[in-house]
Structure 1
């Protein structure tokens, strides 16, 4: 991982789209700081397409799509994207699975939930689970004392034995049924909504993240950035980000935004 300061100006100038994780990438210790939020708004006003790509639930993503300075949001690790049409006051939702598939998957996830909570002492259902549609989130350090890494691995193995996918974020193990992840839904969103094909995306998209559930994005985009706290989970990553910030969490995201804004300040007029 190279210092973000080594990102060439011509590469920064090529960026049209900023995709970013939320937890511990935009937020810091669970808080959305003024500087990180201001960086989102500055990028949006400067004409970048800004899209959070998160493991957080549908209920949160409805709020984010409506009220944050973003163009869309991918949620529950790729289960859907939401895009709010501000002019017509309409929320557009696209789900990977059908309603019937979601219903059947929830039954299987309920079985996994019971097994995890009975088998892994100290684990808990994520506090945002009631706002989720497609996945199951098990808390291992957000609102509970941090579990040993071996116990996190046990949670992952329970999901996988049941045939589910499982990804570790900085706070949760998220599991679901379906052949999707953050990358597959991000690609769908870029193509469907913004008419950006994959070859173009690899040249125009930069992705920021901090944890193993960001790995598909780190692997796919040559311009990928880990905020400094990615070091804590780097041993879980086969595919690491190309660049790393000096600052942790929201400070690291603000660092990335500053570099992009500086490089592109003369490229196009800001939004009003």
Structure 2
């Protein structure tokens, strides 16, 4: 086994507990990894504004947000941004509505959430200062810049049905994935995935896939889990991650500090 040089991890359902907290054991394990010379990378579907409250408590060498749309490195003043262009966003929305008519849309820009009335938002999101409601899809696409992540939520269509329809309709115009949200799909620019963003970061450090450990719990983690030489699905993860063909390891659940337990074991083997 090649000794790992990078520990990369998703946040929700992976590093964080049900209540969104970081356990002392998790912080200690990742701090010990950094002290041993390993780099720690957070790779999350969250936008930057909802990530700093967690990543600032960890010894992060890089932070990847919005499924790869933003990459923050400590030696760069501005993030690397990989967004959908406006024309493509409009085409994608039109194709999605033709395939799944009960969709509503929102856009994560990095600085906030812009959403139209047909997009169901939680009460806390609607009241958040970074959330803006617009009159409809046309205004959404005019005002939301950049389109870091396009969100599509169905009123009634089940997630597995809308995902299949969306992938067939969109084709190569966008990446289609989800992270377990109710009837919610997440769309990014072509080639923008957690795996590709992590590969870019590690490549800039001269780190190979075999030297990377990745932890995740949802389908949007698959690209990173399968790219990394050592991918660990959380025991509480989505069923798709446990297909034997993927060959992933299994870490204890996030409620049991699964990431910390595996990292502790790795450090004893260095």
Normalized against structure 2, the TM-score is what? 0.69
1:89-128 equivalent positions in 2, closer than 5 A: 91-97=77-83, 102-107=85-90, 119=102, 124-125=120-121, 127=125
Quick check: 253-262 or 27-36, which moved more? 27-36
Say whether the 8 Å CA contact 2:233–2:251 is kept in structure 1.
Answer: yes
State the aligned residue count. Answer: 233
Give distance in 2, aligned partners of 1:116 and 1:67: 42
Matches of residues 203-242 of structure 1 in structure 2 within 5 Å?
203-230=210-237, 232-234=239-241, 240-242=246-248
RMSD: 3.7
Offset of residue 109 of structure 1 = 6.2
Structure 1 unaligned regions, length at least 5: 1-10, 141-146, 265-272
Whether the aligned pair in 2 keeps the contact of 1:106 and 1:134 (CA below 8 Å) is no
Correspondence list, 1:133-144, <5 A: 133-138=147-152
**Cα pair distance change 1:66/1:222, threshold 3 Å:** closer
- Deviation per CA, 1:140-197, whole angstroms, max 9, x where unpaired? 9xxxxxx8xx7112332454324432112133531123222111111111122x133x
Higher relative contact order (CA 8 A, sep 6+): 1
The Cα shift of 1:64 comes to 5.4
Which aligned pairs between 1:242-261 and structure 2 lie closer than 5 A? 242-248=248-254, 251-261=257-267
Does residue 154 (structure 1) correspond to residue 161 (structure 2)? The answer is yes
Separation of aligned partners in 2, 1:246 and 1:66: 24
SS of residue paired to 2:67: coil
Q: Does 1:27 align with 2:16?
A: yes
**In the aligned structure 2, how far is the partner of 1:238 from the partner of 1:130?**
41
> Larger % of helix: which?
1
Change (3 A) 1:137 1:259: farther
Q: Could you tell me which residue of structure 2 aligns to residue 83 of structure 1? A: 73
On the 8 A contact 2:103/2:153 being kept in 1, the answer is no
The whole-number CA distance in structure 2 between the counterparts of 1:136 and 1:37 is: 32
Higher mean alpha-carbon deviation, 110-119 vs 177-186, is at 110-119
Pick aligned residue for 2:180 from 170, 179, 198: 170
Stretches of structure 2 that go unaligned for 5 or more consecutive residues are 105-117, 133-145
Q: Distance in 1 between matches of 2:196 and 2:187?
A: 16
Query: Could you tell me how far apart the structure 1 residues matched to 2:229 and 2:209 are?
Result: 7
CA offsets 1:27-53 (integer angstroms, 9 cap, x no match):
122412223333333322332111111
